Structure 1
Amino acid sequence: MKIMVIDGNSILNRAFYGVRQLSNHEGLPTNAVYGFLATLFKLQDDEKPDRTVVCFDVRQKTFRHLRFDSYKATRKGMPDDLAAQVPVVKQVLDAMGVTRVELPGYEADDLLGTISRRADEHGDSCVIVTGDRDSLQLIGGGTTVRLVSTKMGQTTYETYDTAAFREKYGFEPSRLIDLKALMGDSSDNIPGVPGIGEKTALQLLHDFGTLDGVYAHLDDERIKKGTRTKLEAGEQSARDSFWLATIDRSAPLALDIADIPAAQADEDALYALLTRLEFKNFIKRLGLSAEQATPRLPQAAVRRVSDATEADTLLDALAGAEQVFALTSETLGALCLLTGEEASVLFAGDFAPETWDALLARLFGGAVKLTLHDAKPVVAALLARGIAVKGVVFDTCLAAYLLDPTQSGYDLPRVALAYCGAELPPLDLDDPAAVSPLGGQEQTMQSCAAHAGAVRAIYTETAEKLEACGMHKLYFEIELPLMHILAEMELVGCAVAPAQLRAFGDKLDARTAELVEQIYAHAGGAFNINSPRQLGEVLFEKLGLPAQKKAKTGYSTNVEVLEKLTGLHPIVPDILEYRQVTKLKSTYVDGLLKVISPRDGRVHTHFQQTVTATGRLSSTDPNLQNIPVRTELGREIRRMFVARDETHVLIDADYSQIELRVLAHISQDEHMIEAFRTGQDIHAATAAKVYGVPLDEVTPQMRSSCKAVNFGIVYGISDFSLAQDIGVTRKEAKAFIDSYLETYPGVARYMEEIKAAAKEKGYVETLFGRRRALPELQSSNFNIRSFGERVAMNTPIQGTAADIIKIAMVRVADRLRREGLQSRLILQVHDELILEAPVDEQQHAMRLLTEEMEAAFPMDAPLVAEAKAGHSWYDTK
Structure 2
Amino acid sequence: MKIMVIDGNSILNRAFYGIRQLTNHEGLPTNAVYGFLATLFKLQDEERPDRTIVCFDVKEKTFRHLKFDTYKATRKGMPDELAAQLPLTKQVLDALGIVRCEKAGYEADDLLGTISRRADEHGDTCVVVTGDRDSLQLVGGGTTVMLVSTRMGQTTYQTYDTAAFREKYGFDPIRLIDLKALMGDSSDNIPGVPGIGEKTAMQLLHDFGTLEGVYANIDDERIKKGARTKLQNGEQSAKDSYWLATIDRSVPLELDVEHLPAQDIDETTLYDLLTRLEFKNFIKRFDLSGESVSAPRLPELKTERVENVLEAFNLMDSLTDCDRVYAIVPETLGAVCLLDGDTAHILFAEAFGDAWNDILRRLFDGSLPLVLHDAKAAVRALLQRGMDPKGIVFDTAIAAYLLDPTQSGYDLPRLALAYCNAELPELDLDDPAAVSLLGGQEDTEKAVAQHAGALRAIYAEAADRIEQLGMRKLYYEIELPLLRVLAEMEAAGCAVEPDELRAFGDKLDVRIRDLTEQIYHDADGEFNINSPKQLGEVLFEKLGLHAPKKTKTGYSTNVEVLERIAEDHPIVPRILEYRKLTKLKSTYVEGLLKVISPVDGRIHTHFQQTVTATGRLSSTDPNLQNIPVRTELGRELRRMFVAPDENHVLIDADYSQIELRVLAHISQDEHMIEAFKHGQDIHAATAAKVYHVPLEEVTPQMRSSCKAVNFGIVYGISDFSLAQDIGVTRKEAGEFIKTYLDTYPGVKKYMEDIKQTGREQGYVTTLFGRRRALPELKSKNFNMRSFGERVAMNTPIQGTAADIIKIAMVRVRDRLLRDGLQSRLILQVHDELILEAPKDEQETAMRLLTEEMENAFRMDAPLVAEAKAGHSWYDAK
TM-score interval w.r.t. the shorter chain? Answer: over 0.9
Residue-by-residue CA offset, 1:523-570 (whole Å, 9 max, x unaligned): 333333222233233333333333335331223222222222222222
What is the number of residues matched between the two proteins? Answer: 876
Does 2:229 match 1:235? no
**Residue pair 1:129, 1:148 contacting (<8 A) in 2 also:** yes
Does 2:349 match 1:336? no
RMSD: 1.1
Match of 1:377 in 2: 377
- Secondary structure of 1:811's match? helix
**Residue pair 2:549, 2:561 contacting (<8 A) in 1 also:** no
Residue-by-residue CA offset, 1:798-841 (whole Å, 9 max, x unaligned): 00000000000000000111111111111000000001111111
Residue-by-residue CA offset, 1:238-265 (whole Å, 9 max, x unaligned): 1111111111111111110111111111
Question: Where in structure 1 do 4 or more consecutive aligned residues deviate above 6 Å?
Answer: none
**Residue pair 1:336, 1:448 contacting (<8 A) in 2 also:** yes
- Secondary structure of 2:528's match? coil
Residue-by-residue CA offset, 1:115-156 (whole Å, 9 max, x unaligned): 000000011000011111111111111111111110110111
Match of 2:484 in 1: 484
Match of 1:507 in 2: 507
Match of 1:308 in 2: 309
Structure 2 CA distance for partners of 1:515 and 1:663, relative to 1, 3 Å:
same
How many angstroms apart in 1 are the aligned matches of 2:483 and 2:175? 67
How many angstroms apart in 2 are the aligned matches of 1:630 and 1:244? 63
Match of 1:350 in 2: 351
Q: CA deviation at 1:287?
A: 1.1
How many angstroms apart in 2 are the aligned matches of 1:67 and 1:496? 80
Does 2:553 match 1:556? no
Residue-by-residue CA offset, 1:780-811 (whole Å, 9 max, x unaligned): 11111111111111000000000000000000
How many angstroms apart in 2 are the aligned matches of 1:79 and 1:515? 56
Counterparts of 1:719-730 in structure 2 under 5 Å? 719-730=719-730
Q: CA deviation at 1:223?
A: 1.9
**Residue pair 1:605, 1:619 contacting (<8 A) in 2 also:** yes
Match of 2:813 in 1: 813
Match of 2:409 in 1: 409
One-letter code of the match for 2:83? A
Residue-by-residue CA offset, 1:304-333 (whole Å, 9 max, x unaligned): 110111111111101222210001201111
One-letter code of the match for 1:374? D
Residue-by-residue CA offset, 1:557-587 (whole Å, 9 max, x unaligned): 2222222222222222112111111111111
Match of 2:786 in 1: 786
Match of 2:702 in 1: 702
Counterparts of 1:187-198 in structure 2 under 5 Å? 187-198=187-198
- Secondary structure of 2:554's match? coil
How many angstroms apart in 2 are the aligned matches of 1:184 and 1:678? 66
How many angstroms apart in 2 are the aligned matches of 1:740 and 1:308? 70
- Secondary structure of 2:553's match? coil
How many angstroms apart in 1 are the aligned matches of 2:733 and 2:858? 35
Q: CA deviation at 1:295?
A: 4.9
How many angstroms apart in 1 are the aligned matches of 2:685 and 2:601? 47
How many angstroms apart in 1 are the aligned matches of 2:701 and 2:323? 63
**Residue pair 1:374, 1:395 contacting (<8 A) in 2 also:** yes
Match of 2:545 in 1: 545
Match of 2:495 in 1: 495
Q: CA deviation at 1:445?
A: 1.0
**Residue pair 1:655, 1:864 contacting (<8 A) in 2 also:** yes
Match of 1:121 in 2: 121
**Residue pair 1:416, 1:458 contacting (<8 A) in 2 also:** yes
One-letter code of the match for 2:681? D
Match of 1:23 in 2: 23
**Residue pair 1:290, 1:425 contacting (<8 A) in 2 also:** no
Bigger drift between 627-636 and 222-231 goes to 222-231
Match of 1:324 in 2: 325
**Residue pair 2:652, 2:868 contacting (<8 A) in 1 also:** yes
Counterparts of 1:866-877 in structure 2 under 5 Å? 866-877=866-877
- Secondary structure of 1:654's match? strand
Match of 2:689 in 1: 689
Q: CA deviation at 1:101?
A: 0.6
Match of 1:155 in 2: 155
Identity across matched positions, percent: 78
Structure 2 CA distance for partners of 1:190 and 1:734, relative to 1, 3 Å:
same
How many angstroms apart in 2 are the aligned matches of 1:156 and 1:553? 18
How many angstroms apart in 2 are the aligned matches of 1:485 and 1:782? 42
How many angstroms apart in 2 are the aligned matches of 1:110 and 1:252? 10
- Secondary structure of 1:366's match? strand
Structure 2: state its 5+ residue gaps.
none
Does 2:602 match 1:611? no
Q: CA deviation at 1:77?
A: 1.2
- Secondary structure of 1:156's match? strand
How many angstroms apart in 2 are the aligned matches of 1:7 and 1:852? 61
Q: CA deviation at 1:40?
A: 0.4
How many angstroms apart in 1 are the aligned matches of 2:244 and 2:534? 52
Match of 1:857 in 2: 857
How many angstroms apart in 2 are the aligned matches of 1:787 and 1:226? 46
How many angstroms apart in 1 are the aligned matches of 2:84 and 2:501? 56
How many angstroms apart in 2 are the aligned matches of 1:76 and 1:729? 37
**Residue pair 1:614, 1:795 contacting (<8 A) in 2 also:** yes
Match of 1:456 in 2: 456
How many angstroms apart in 2 are the aligned matches of 1:624 and 1:433? 34
- Secondary structure of 1:150's match? strand
Counterparts of 1:505-584 in structure 2 under 5 Å? 505-584=505-584
Bigger drift between 65-74 and 5-14 goes to 65-74
One-letter code of the match for 1:133? R
How many angstroms apart in 1 are the aligned matches of 2:721 and 2:240? 47
- Secondary structure of 1:112's match? helix
- Secondary structure of 2:625's match? coil
Bigger drift between 776-785 and 222-231 goes to 222-231
One-letter code of the match for 1:871? H
How many angstroms apart in 1 are the aligned matches of 2:160 and 2:525? 45
How many angstroms apart in 2 are the aligned matches of 1:196 and 1:505? 69
How many angstroms apart in 2 are the aligned matches of 1:715 and 1:22? 22
Residue-by-residue CA offset, 1:719-738 (whole Å, 9 max, x unaligned): 11111111111111111111
Residue-by-residue CA offset, 1:157-178 (whole Å, 9 max, x unaligned): 1111111111111111111111
